[in-house]
Amino acid sequence: MLTCESKILLMQRLQDYARLDYRYYFQGEVGLDKLNSLSRKFAQQYDTELSKFQRARRKRSGEAVTQLLVWTPEDSDKARFWLLATEGKGRVHDYETLLDLRDKANRIRLPDYELVHDGVSWSWRMSQATYSFHQKRLRNAILARNDLLYGVAVASLYQSPGFRLVRRQVGMLARWLRLEWGKLRKEPMQELPTFLPYVRRLPNPAAKTKARSTRPAVVADEAA
């Protein structure tokens, strides 16, 4: 079981697993007090705690392998979980009703974002509702001629997580914003940030042990 407290870490690992052909999943919610029991159940039934080498060996033999990914949002007494599986023979396909994340209707969705394959690779993008929200917020700030509201709206847009497809959407919104400003305002437009940086890749949480743990090494930045 991999537990993510950070939403960005969760998004990165879901993207990683999609790239590694974990195309089937089901998701649910469980109380934090029952999380360890659920983890043991999945480990016993579906072998979610295998090593990397054991998983590779099973995949080569045509068996399905699994991962359990958990998100524990701040200020919540519940955890969201995703049981992920590859193609192949296995109890997880026999006993569970799994969704295929390649199907448009079954994409993995989080608040504001969805995981998609654009023909190049897997990445996160804003949902249509989130994209429209940014447009409406920016346009209203321009119409109100309120520089404070406009600055807050621009800052919010450029605080989006810098996944490849999100960065593309921010660029599209920036171009739209320049055109919209020209239609609605006569004075020069304030400069926008140059670009949205790529999201910094986060390491997995260090395993909890009784011994005093050392600080994990910093992982180099890379494009998501």
pLDDT per residue as tens digits for the range 80-124:
999 999 999 999 999 999 999 999 999 999 989 999 999 999 999
Reference 175, options 138, 150, 147; nearest CA is: 138
CB-based contact 198:224 (threshold 8 Å): yes
By mean pLDDT, which of 12-16, 64-68, 193-197 is the weakest? 193-197
Spell out the domain ranges in the chain. Answer: 2-110, 121-205
- pTM exceeds 0.85: yes
How many whole angstroms separate alpha carbon 14 and alpha carbon 147? 38
